[in-house]
Structure 1
């Protein structure tokens, strides 16, 4: 694969179908970072750049927007089809699927309760129980919760 990612295959782009936004966004952030595009997605194209630099930044923005569009199932794509920048598309998806600060707080509280009441089921292996617990922990982390190994 070329260093600039021009040969990035479709199979490498995770598809978001409207569920598990947190996990999809983590995978997409990693993809953007590997292609040196995350700053464009997060901050947008900065104004007041010289013409040559602006052309390069807009090209990178179009590439990031392409990755976002390719990573969306057709049922989700319509929400960002009018977005003209990667930042606009990313922010639209984040606001809709991750929610506002209040929504995130409620989701995080629910996850905390799930973690605190987590019990091993009859006949469940330790590995399966641990996996279930780590799923909740990773969901909590995706909402910004800092969990140390002591809690686990």
Structure 2
């Protein structure tokens, strides 16, 4: 947007352009608008305090405010004759009166308290919902800091992410951790978890597969290299108690099995 010259100083200064007000940026817009009106030395027309309002400054401030409004909002406040009336009307419209503001905040806090990551929901999608909630808080003049967002995220992720949550809480100060950092750590763990869940390539020995499936999880990796059975190690093998003859028979049976005859 072009800058409009504005008097002041030997060489003059440039008039800063007012940002456009939209449905969900009132809080940020109000901060910028106040700063720009102050640069133009016309903010006193909006917040005069105990001094009388200069008519010229009031008209300038009103014109700057009206120029920053979309058409539908402009038509609603065009009947306001002073900059202060325009400003107050916008504040009531976008923030609400005190009671409306308080009611909206209570409702928003309830939504935030019940927010939870749904089954099958992507981490980035849930992180986006949390970030959007922070924006809604800001639009009501409240702040939803990183510490609150991080705690909410760690408390509401699915069970599959609890190992990394425990690690984050044990080795990091979650009260100072940035929300994006917590999301990045959760995402990295989930990628590794998904990689382990994917079927691995390559054929697997059928006998080994059947044996592994029949053994409980705790003993699944315990395989005896004497009798080739799962569930115990060689030093625990019952065959050690049966003497040389039983061992020879066991070995003969293993050879037959290896040749594919059984």
Normalising by structure 1, report the TM-score: 0.69
- The equivalent position to 1:33 in structure 2, one of 32, 35, 38, is 35
Q: Give the Cα–Cα distance (whole angstroms) in 2 for the partners of residues 40 and 82 of structure 1.
A: 21
Name the counterpart of 1:87.
Answer: 84
Q: Give the Cα–Cα distance (whole angstroms) in 2 for the partners of residues 101 and 7 of structure 1.
A: 31
Structure number with greater CO (CA < 8 Å, separation at least 6) is 1
Name the counterpart of 1:117.
Answer: 114
Query: How far does residue 89 in structure 1 lie from its aligned partner after superposition?
Result: 0.2
Name the counterpart of 1:6.
Answer: 15
Name the counterpart of 2:48.
Answer: 44
> Any residues of structure 2 matched to 1:1-152 within 5 Å, and which?
4-6=13-15, 8=17, 13-16=19-22, 19-20=23-24, 23-36=25-38, 39-40=43-44, 42-44=46-48, 47-48=51-52, 54=54, 58-152=55-149
Q: Give the Cα–Cα distance (whole angstroms) in 1 for the partners of residues 31 and 45 of structure 2.
A: 9
String of CA shifts for 1:10-65, please: whole Å, max 9, x gaps: xx63143xx33xx234224313304525843641375348xxxx4xxx44433332
Q: Which runs of 4+ in 1 moved over 6 A?
A: none
5+ residue gaps, structure 2, are 6-11, 150-262
Q: CA RMSD in A?
A: 3.0
Change (3 A) 1:127 1:34: farther
Change (3 A) 1:45 1:102: closer
Kindly indicate whether the alpha-carbon contact (under 8 Å) linking 2:21 and 2:68 is maintained by their aligned counterparts in 1.
yes
Q: Give the Cα–Cα distance (whole angstroms) in 2 for the partners of residues 117 and 146 of structure 1.
A: 18
Higher alpha-carbon Rg:
2
Count of aligned pairs: 138
Change (3 A) 1:7 1:146: closer
5+ residue gaps, structure 1, are none
SS at 2:73's partner residue? Answer: helix
Query: How far does residue 104 in structure 1 lie from its aligned partner after superposition?
Result: 0.9
Q: Give the Cα–Cα distance (whole angstroms) in 2 for the partners of residues 61 and 98 of structure 1.
A: 23
Normalising by structure 2, report the TM-score: 0.44
Query: How far does residue 123 in structure 1 lie from its aligned partner after superposition?
Result: 4.8
